[in-house]
């Protein structure tokens, strides 16, 4: 039953007539007794706290039985660029290609010295100009700079082994794990269209604020809109929510898993960035297991809770939709938040 991670989205052709009638009955009235086809991996009855938590130990036999990745996809960083931000700290945006889909997944990195193995490795016929253009340089770019591997301002130099792989050393490369990490799935509606149905935009901003203050961090930004169902299907789910379904029920009525996201790409991207030990910003216990995978290629040392701003300040999202959304996350998806009695 615990099958929502790495599960392919069922095709529409698989829906038979009785399923359609079932879905129709649900739309017609009763969403409440709907069985969860894709339950969470872990029970939600876990103590809640705002302080970082060491994740509970998961025995190997339990971990191995979970639908989480074993083999990692291949990823390659194509380009990295510095972006000064309106909030103050600059970020280094990394764009990745991979061998399992055609999407441009991203890593939003805080800290110039977090270095992608695949970006910095010497490539055939690589010139210093090529390396600067794709972002494989140390220190800062400035007009007239000619050497990517050596920064004459900071006097820092990158070193490479005989295979052209970057030698990671503390003077040039961030090695001070654990690093703060958030795995964020694209949400056009919440991040760009000001949606108050979900808290994705707020969580994204908050993760950036925390990492900016810390000086180092990485938001892995996966292009899996609407928990993996895509924007078109998500808009249909919004209409079902206006008809009375919650966010989980709406996905199930559309014959999608409650959560069709996959996190193995995030794991591969973190390893490429040398971030093998992380403190993960999340309320979702499944994400810890999903990013670690069966082999714990990446280890989550601490879980850092993300408490909604509206619960602890006068700011944050206030809408009747967000209350329902957060309740669903807590009650149906096992998120480790404790809803205050009064919002």
Known catalytic residues are 259, 261
Rounded CA-CA distance 23/253 in Å is 5
- How many chain residues are in contact with Zn ion, going by CB under 5 A? 4
* Per-position x/- string for 41-70, each x denoting binding to Zn ion as judged by CB under 5 A, each - no binding: ------------------------------
Position 237 contacts Zn ion (CB under 5 A)? no
Give the residue with the Cβ less far from Zn ion, 151 or 259.
259
Distances (CA, A) of 321 to 134, 197, 268: 42, 5, 35
Give the residue with the Cβ less far from Zn ion, 94 or 197.
197
Instruction: Tell me which residue of 154, 112, 102 sits closest to 135, measured CA to CA.
Output: 112
43: CB partners within 8 A, 6+ apart: 334
Position 250 contacts Zn ion (CB under 5 A)? no
User: What six digits make up the tokens of 122?
Assistant: 């010497």
Question: Closest approach of Cβ 106 to Zn ion, in Å?
Answer: 17
Q: In this structure, are residues 67 and 259 in contact, taking their beta carbons and an 8 Å threshold?
A: no
Q: In this structure, are residues 335 and 44 in contact, taking their beta carbons and an 8 Å threshold?
A: yes
Q: Taking contact as CB under 5 A, which single stretch among the options 5-13, 97-105, 132-140, 199-207 is the one that binds Zn ion?
A: 199-207
Instruction: Tell me which residue of 129, 215, 122 sits closest to 176, measured CA to CA.
Output: 215
Give the residue with the Cβ less far from Zn ion, 119 or 222.
222
Give the residue with the Cβ less far from Zn ion, 151 or 202.
202
The single residue among 139, 190, 217, 257 that binds Zn ion, judged by CB under 5 A, is: 190
Question: Closest approach of Cβ 70 to Zn ion, in Å?
Answer: 29
Give the residue with the Cβ less far from Zn ion, 199 or 272.
199
Q: Taking contact as CB under 5 A, which single stretch among the options 115-123, 185-193, 204-212, 332-340 is the one that binds Zn ion?
A: 185-193
91: CB partners within 8 A, 6+ apart: 82, 83, 85, 108, 109, 110, 208
Position 248 contacts Zn ion (CB under 5 A)? no
Position 200 contacts Zn ion (CB under 5 A)? yes
Question: Closest approach of Cβ 181 to Zn ion, in Å?
Answer: 19
The single residue among 41, 77, 138, 187 that binds Zn ion, judged by CB under 5 A, is: 187
User: What six digits make up the tokens of 71?
Assistant: 């083999």
Question: Closest approach of Cβ 247 to Zn ion, in Å?
Answer: 9
Alpha-helical regions (H) of 66-199: 117-120, 128-134, 188-191
User: What six digits make up the tokens of 41?
Assistant: 């991996």
Rounded CA-CA distance 9/316 in Å is 33
Give the residue with the Cβ less far from Zn ion, 68 or 198.
198
User: What six digits make up the tokens of 66?
Assistant: 């979970």
Instruction: Tell me which residue of 343, 340, 336 sits closest to 48, measured CA to CA.
Output: 336
Rounded CA-CA distance 107/259 in Å is 22
Question: Closest approach of Cβ 249 to Zn ion, in Å?
Answer: 17
Q: Taking contact as CB under 5 A, which single stretch among the options 6-14, 91-99, 180-188, 275-283 is the one that binds Zn ion?
A: 180-188
Question: Closest approach of Cβ 199 to Zn ion, in Å?
Answer: 7
Judged by the rule CB under 5 A, the positions of this chain that interact with Zn ion are 187, 190, 198, 200
């Amino acid at each position: 039953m615990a099958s929502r991670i790495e599960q392919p989205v069922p095709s529409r052709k698989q829906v038979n007539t009785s399923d359609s009638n079932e879905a129709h009955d649900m739309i017609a009235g009763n969403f409440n007794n709907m069985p969860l086809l894709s339950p969470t991996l872990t029970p939600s009855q876990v103590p809640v706290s705002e302080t970082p938590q060491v994740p509970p130990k998961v025995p190997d036999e339990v971990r191995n039985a979970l639908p989480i990745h074993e083999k990692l996809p291949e990823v390659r960083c194509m380009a990295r660029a510095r972006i000064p931000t309106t909030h103050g700290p600059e970020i280094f945006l990394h764009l990745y290609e991979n061998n399992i889909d055609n999407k441009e997944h991203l890593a939003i990195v805080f800290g110039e010295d977090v270095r992608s193995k695949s970006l910095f490795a010497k490539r055939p016929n690589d010139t210093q100009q090529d390396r600067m253009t794709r972002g494989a340089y140390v220190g800062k770019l400035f007009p007239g700079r000619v050497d990517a591997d050596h920064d004459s301002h900071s006097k820092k130099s990158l070193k490479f082994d005989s295979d052209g792989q970057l030698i990671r050393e503390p003077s040039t490369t961030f090695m001070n794990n654990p690093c703060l990490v958030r795995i964020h799935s694209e949400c056009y509606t919440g991040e760009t269209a000001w949606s108050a149905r979900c808290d994705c935009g707020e969580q994204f901003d908050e993760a950036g604020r925390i990492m900016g203050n810390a000086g180092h961090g990485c938001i892995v930004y996966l292009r899996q809109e609407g928990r993996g169902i895509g924007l078109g299907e998500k808009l249909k789910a919004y209409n079902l929510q206006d008809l009375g379904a919650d966010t989980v029920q709406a996905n199930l009525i559309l014959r999608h898993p409650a959560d069709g996201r996959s996190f193995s790409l995030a794991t591969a991207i973190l390893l490429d960035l040398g971030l093998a030990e992380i403190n993960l910003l999340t309320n979702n216990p499944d994400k810890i297991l999903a990013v670690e995978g069966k082999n714990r290629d990446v280890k989550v040392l601490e879980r850092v809770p993300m408490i909604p701003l509206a619960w602890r300040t006068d700011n944050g999202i206030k809408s009747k939709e967000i209350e329902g959304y957060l309740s669903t996350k807590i009650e149906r998806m096992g998120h480790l938040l404790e809803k205050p009695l009064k919002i």
